[in-house]
Amino acid sequence: MRLSDGFGRTFKYLRLSVTEACNFKCSYCLPDGYNKCAGPSPLSLDELRRAATAFSELGLSKIRLTGGEPTIRKDFDEIAHTIAALPGVDKLALTTNGYRLRDRAQGWRDAGISAINVSLDSLNPNTFHQVTGHDRCREVLEGIDAAFDAGFESVKVNAVYLKGINDQEIDAYLTLAKNRPLSVRFIELMETGDHPDYFRRHHIAASTISDKLEHEGWTQKLKAADAGPANEYVHPDYQGSIGLIAPYSKDFCKSCNRLRFSSMGNLHLCLFGNFGVPMRQYLQSDDQIKELKEALWRAVARKTAGHQLGLGLTGQTSNLSSIGG
């Protein structure tokens, strides 16, 4: 029993959020910082293991740990080790703001994480502080060096592309990929329910980057079957690559291959969907994994063709940390 929807799409990639909390105050996501609301705690280690087991048995062989900031959990290393060891999980990835990466890269690699994405929205320390609320630009850059030293199979840098803030830094980002196999990915700013005014001030079309890349001799390469949404560009003079995530582009959702499971145990069929499907009731015992798989199969069959961001409809997503981006 493999997961597929009514549009012929099959799913091999799970974004598994382990917490909504984050210690950064990124201007496009949590400008006032994370405020914990009353309610249940995030999924326990056993609940996360059961969820990952069900998805892996349904053919999702790539799992990415997300948040919030996943590494603020005290049991993060144990979570990574447990999920990496599950049969059927061929690749365990992590998205992090990088604040602990310099000191923990080797430990996370030893725990079984093989791919790491680091959020780095500016290479200028002052702009980095403006966006994140932290003076940790150099620390994060040193963390990226540590990730290469630790032997990660894939190291990527994510930068949300922001008009008037970091849109003058494209050439500096390209330089990062010049002499090592680093993938730099520019993410087009997406509108969320909490920040419509910010979106209107700072959104800039991803095509401005793709036009520049093509003009400078970069060519687009084919995606791997378990790849995320980025279109990757390569250049003969660069060891690394440039990725472009353009959610407002035509047919962006056509090749969707990923599902999202929140730290509260809800299945999200789309980052900008109108609802999450509660699944936590199926995570209380190992004996429920078969029932969970059947519930997932029924839910995924209801996935819609795509988001409605072009119409200004952001669905249930108030900010990106609430689901896992």
For the beta sheet containing 266-268, the strands, ordered from the edge strand earlier in sequence to the opposite edge, are 219-220, 231-234, 241-245, 183-188, 154-161, 115-119, 91-96, 62-66, 13-17, 258-261, 266-268, 277-278
pLDDT at residue 258, as a whole number = 87
Q: Which of 117, 120, 133, 141 is nearest to 67 (CA)?
A: 117
Confidence grade of residue 2 (pLDDT, cut at 50, 70, 90): confident
Confidence grade of residue 316 (pLDDT, cut at 50, 70, 90): low
pLDDT digits (tens, 9 = 90+) for 198-242: 999 999 999 999 999 999 999 999 877 666 778 999 999 999 999
Q: Which of 224, 223, 116, 237 is nearest to 174 (CA)?
A: 237
pLDDT at residue 324, as a whole number = 64
Average pLDDT over residues 253-279: 84
pLDDT at residue 319, as a whole number = 58
pLDDT digits (tens, 9 = 90+) for 154-187: 999 999 999 999 999 999 999 999 999 999 999 9
pLDDT at residue 274, as a whole number = 60
pLDDT at residue 38, as a whole number = 74
pLDDT digits (tens, 9 = 90+) for 95-144: 999 999 999 999 999 999 999 999 999 999 999 999 999 999 999 999 99
Domain ranges of the chain: 13-156+250-322
Pure H helices in 251-288: none
Query: Mean pLDDT in the chain?
Result: 91
**Topology of 13-156+250-322 in CATH?**
TIM Barrel (3.20.20)
Confidence grade of residue 306 (pLDDT, cut at 50, 70, 90): low
Total count of residues recorded for the chain: 325
What region, left, alpha or beta, does residue 66 occupy, with left being phi > 0 and alpha being psi -120 to 50 degrees? Answer: beta
Return d(Cα 280, Cα 101) in angstroms, integer. Answer: 31
Enclosing H/E stretch for 14: strand 13-17
